[in-house]
Amino acid sequence: MTNSTGGEQLRARPPRRRGSAVKGSGTSWPLALAALVLLVLAIPGALLVAPGFRGPDAPAPAPTPPSWQQAPATLSAPQVLATLQPSAPTPVPAVVAAQVEPVLKADGGGTFTGMVQDALTGQVLFDRGGAEGRVPASNLKLLTAVAALRTLGPDHRFTTKVVQGPAVGQVVLVSGGDVLLGAGESRPGQTMGHAGLATLAALTVQALQAAGTTGEIKVLVDDSLFTGPALNPNWQPGDVEAGEIAPVYPLALNSARFDPAVTTGPRPEDSAKAAAEEFAGRLRAAGAGAGLTVAAGVERSPGGAQTTGAVLAAAESATVAEQVDLMLQVSDNYLAETMGRMAALATGRPGSNDGATAAATAELAAAGVTPDAVKLVDVCGLAMGNQVTARQFTDVVRAITTGADARLRAALDGFPVGGLSGTLDTRYGDATTSGGAGLVRAKTGTLNTVLALSGYVVDADGRLLVFSFIGNGLTPGAAGNKVALDRAATALAGCGCR
């Protein structure tokens, strides 16, 4: 059927089927929702995968370090003590006493004596029983240092030699007073181990090769330099057992220690033979490729070699000055006893304990220190029978610091520094003594009932003061006694006592 109206021909629309989707119809929303869900789920995955395509993130910039960790733009001026001026004011004795008296108190039993002097003039600034003889403990090593430096000289060295033995095939290790020998190679920059047995053995093998020597070698040892008892009867058996001291010989490794790093506990009972046995082992190793063998065991040379055999090799110790410094810094008893005996030999006395004590007393007088009331039964200070006054110690420190004998200046570096070195390294750390840290330089002394401190300090006005404080009859282990000594020395360091 057609409709002619409007000049256009129209076609009838077919009927719509049920369920069919037509564009723009409301039935298309489930597909859109599904697409939205897939998109939401894909975003986190894309974020996880994306770094793999674009590489790692750039590292965060490092934070700027604080100013105290940054390199300085300029170097600060060195901080050193000002040059001593003789014109610096001398402290007033009454003011010094007012500073020292309240702090120099015993913790429990016992008493302290003390003396303070002006180093340049000798004027006494403090005196509490300064003329009273006291057990000085290791402060006695100051007297031994003076004796060694005066008789031997700061630059003297001890020589350990190897010589031809009295019979064919024998070599003799001859002691020369060096008890700081090392087992290995010589270490020229060190005091302990300056001369090494491995080096000495290598030189010996070279000499034997040059002489055409082959076959078996027997090692002997000559330690006849020292005489008299090797173990002082004035030493307590407990101190020997604890390793404070050992029988004294003129030849030893590590100051008669098995290990230089272990300074407590047992020591070799015969340090000379122990050193000779070590030398024999080093000689055996050095001679293995040179047609030389070394017999087992070491014997003493009958009657001493007396240096009559041809010298095959020699090694020199550190200087006396260097050894004195070590002795004072660590308070080495064995080294002190050796130094005393070597000083005795240098003055024509026997190398014995009696010779050592006589030499120390004589050199005290020669250095201008009155030896009245001095009683010495050893030269390391381990014995309780020694007697020295605080006045004599201040006179000794004056002789070292400002006296006429310039050789004694070599001992200055040996004084431990409060809070920094040697036997004072762990002291001067609390609020009452920290003012003396780095300023107080003093030799310590410690026995069960004895504490001592003798040394020097520059006061707040630039005046050099010398002091000695000695406690006897003290309560063993009482913590306040060392603090009392340190407080007294600290008071001097901060003293503008006018």
So where are the chain's domains? Answer: 93-153+324-493, 159-318
pLDDT at 6: 39
Mean pLDDT, range 462-483, rounded to an integer = 97
Task: Give the single-character DSSP code of 419.
Answer: T
Across the range 322-342, mean pLDDT stands at 98
Phi-psi region of 190 (alpha: psi -120 to 50; beta: other; left: phi over 0): beta
Residue 197 and residue 279 in contact, taking contact as beta carbons nearer than 8 Å: yes
Share of the chain above pLDDT 90, in %: 77
Question: Which pLDDT does position 306 carry in this prediction?
Answer: 53
Judged against a pLDDT cut of 80, whether residue 470 lies above it is answered with yes
Residue 315, strand partner residues: 160
What local confidence, expressed as pLDDT, does residue 102 receive? 97
State the burial class of residue 214 (Cβ atoms within 10 Å of its Cβ: 0-12, 13-18, 19+).
middle
Tell me which amino acid residue 165 is: G
What is the pLDDT at residue 495? 92
Closest to 329 measured CA to CA, from 263, 388, 251: 263
Say what the pLDDT of residue 308 is: 73
Residue among 331, 356, 335, 441 at smallest CA distance from 397: 441
Confidence of residue 64 (pLDDT cuts 50, 70, 90): confident
DSSP state, 182? B
More confident residue, 306 or 208: 208
| Among 141, 161, 443, 482, the one annotated catalytic | 141
Concerning whether 141 is annotated as a catalytic residue, the answer is yes
Q: Decide the pairing of beta strands 170-174 and 292-294.
A: unpaired
Give the whole-angstrom CA distance, residue 470 versus residue 453.
7
**pLDDT of 289:** 85
Categorize the per-residue pLDDT at 75 as very low, low, confident or very high, splitting at 50, 70 and 90.
low
Check pLDDT > 90 for residue 408: yes
| Res. 497 pLDDT band, cuts 50 70 90 | confident
Contacts of 55 (CB under 8 A, 6+ apart): none
383-395 pLDDT per residue, tens: 999 999 999 999 9
Distances (CA, A) of 18 to 13, 21, 23, 267: 16, 9, 15, 114
pTM: 0.83
The mean-pLDDT minimum among 14-18, 61-65, 148-152, 477-481 falls in 14-18
pLDDT at 163: 95
Q: Which among 266, 160, 163, 177 is positioned nearest to 225, based on CA atoms?
A: 177
pLDDT at 63 over 80: no
Homologous superfamily assigned to 93-153+324-493: DD-peptidase/beta-lactamase superfamily (3.40.710.10)
Dihedral pair phi/psi, residue 442, rounded to 5°: -155, 150
The secondary structure of residue 375, as a DSSP letter, is: B
pLDDT, position 4: 39
pLDDT at position 270: 97
Of the pLDDT bands very low, low, confident and very high (cuts 50, 70, 90), residue 76 is low
Q: What is the DSSP string of 204-260?
A: HHHHHHHTT--EEEEEEEE-TTS-S-SS-TTS-HHHHHTTS-----S--BTTT-SST
pLDDT digit string (tens) for 354-375?
999 999 999 999 999 999 989 9
23 is catalytic: no
Specify which residues 55 forms β-bridges with.
Answer: none
Q: What is the mean pLDDT of residues 402-430?
A: 97
Q: Taking CA 180 as the corner, what is the angle to CA 163 and CA 383, rounded to the nearest 5 degrees?
A: 120
Asked whether the predicted pLDDT for residue 444 surpasses 90, the reply is yes
- What percentage of the chain has pLDDT greater than the value 70? 83
78 has a pLDDT exceeding 90: no
Does residue 20 carry a pLDDT above 70?
A: no
What b/e sequence results for 441-465 when a residue is b if at least 16 CB atoms lie within 10 Å of its CB, and e otherwise?
Answer: bbbbbbbebbbbbbbbbbbbebbbb
Q: What integer pLDDT is reported at residue 8 of this predicted model?
A: 38
Q: Average the pLDDT over each of 19-28, 254-263, 281-290, 302-311 and give the range with the smallest value.
A: 19-28
Lowest mean pLDDT among 107-116, 286-295, 418-427: 286-295
Instruction: Tell me if 249 sits within 8 A of 225, measured CB to CB.
Output: no
Indicate if 25 belongs to the active site. Answer: no
Q: Is the pLDDT at 39 greater than 70, yes or no?
A: no
d(CA 163, CA 10): 143
State the burial class of residue 320 (Cβ atoms within 10 Å of its Cβ: 0-12, 13-18, 19+). Answer: buried
The whole-number average pLDDT for the span 4-14 is: 38
pLDDT of residue 13: 40
Average pLDDT, the chain: 88
In terms of pLDDT, which residue wins out, 362 or 5?
A: 362
Q: How far is CA 485 from the centre of its chain?
A: 22
Residue 65 Cα distances to 59, 72, 320, 495, angstroms: 17, 13, 49, 41
Whole-number pLDDT of residue 10: 33
* Lowest-confidence pick of 17-31, 101-115, 200-214, 436-450: 17-31
CA distance 368 to 165: 46
Considering the candidates 138, 317, 454, 468, report the single residue annotated as catalytic: 138
Active-site position among 301, 331, 454, 468: 331
Q: What is the pLDDT of residues 155-177, one digit of tens each?
A: 999 999 999 998 899 999 999 99
Residue 42's contacts (CB-CB under 8 Å, 6 or more residues apart) are none
Q: H helices then E strands: how many in the chain? A: 11, 11
Q: Which among 447, 286, 454 has a CA at the least distance from the CA of 380?
A: 447
Query: At 358, which amino acid appears?
Result: A
Confidence of residue 486 (pLDDT cuts 50, 70, 90): very high
Using alpha carbons only, give the angle 322, 250, 283 rounded to the nearest 5 degrees: 95
pLDDT of res. 35: 55
Residue 243 has pLDDT above 80, yes or no: yes
Q: How far is CA 383 from CA 109, 234, 244, 315, 375, in A?
A: 21, 6, 11, 33, 11
